[in-house]
Amino acid sequence: IYGWLPSVSGQTAFPAGGTGPSVSVDADKLLEHLKFAFMGTLEVQRGPWGVWTDVIYLNLGNSVSATRDFILPQRAIPADVTANFDYDLKAWLWTIAGTYSLIKKPEYSLQALLGARMIDAKQSLDFDFSGNIASLGLPARSGSAEVTMTNWDAVIGVKGRASFGDGLKWFVPYYLDVGTGQSKLTWQGIVGVGYAFSWGSIVGAWRYLDYEFKSGSPIENISFNGPAIGLMFRW
């Protein structure tokens, strides 16, 4: 079990309704508050073979007033136009993979993995524009929009740990995967440091997860980047 506190960046084009232009916003400029999160990972091994899975649920949101952090494609925004936004992001991220031990020594281990990752993301935006919006072609000064996406991608990668110190109790865990499918490209990297006890271990790490979606997708890209701390139990 672990806690991950990522910053979120990416760009989404929300339909403004009717024949009006989309409203494109950057998540990293709007998101500040984590409302709820759940995270956990489980691995089962028998001999060199194994199954590894990781599940993340994030609910983030924020309200901003009088901001100019938005884009209307192919339209210049007048200097007096600002917007109030109420932005919300909910996302499930699930990775499942089969693993095979290539190296398994007390000092070092290396596993190859092959599997799939799913992202199920829902972004909603309530907006209210102020100023002279006549030239922007918006159907109304205020409104709401929602964008949802569920993508599956095949992933391939490696994971393992390097142990050191007295009794090899200290270790450096690492993980790297890359994949594609319904997304143009997704990749994830984790590196950290941990200490082993008789019951398991405690780990601090840095984790980066990135998605680049295919052309025409309302969610152009999204990434999660930040520190994590976890407890690993073995039985």
> 56-86: per-residue pLDDT in tens?
998 888 777 777 777 666 667 777 788 888 8
* H or E segment and range at residue 29: helix 27-30
Look up residue 221 and give its two tokens. 């890209």
pTM score over 0.75: yes
| Strand partners for 164 | 170
What would the two tokens of residue 32 be?
A: 């500040």
Average pLDDT over residues 33-51: 87
* Residue recorded with tokens 């990293």: 28
- 10 pLDDT tier (thresholds 50, 70, 90): confident
Q: How far apart are CA 229 and CA 214, in angstroms?
A: 32
Residue 19: predicted pLDDT: 47
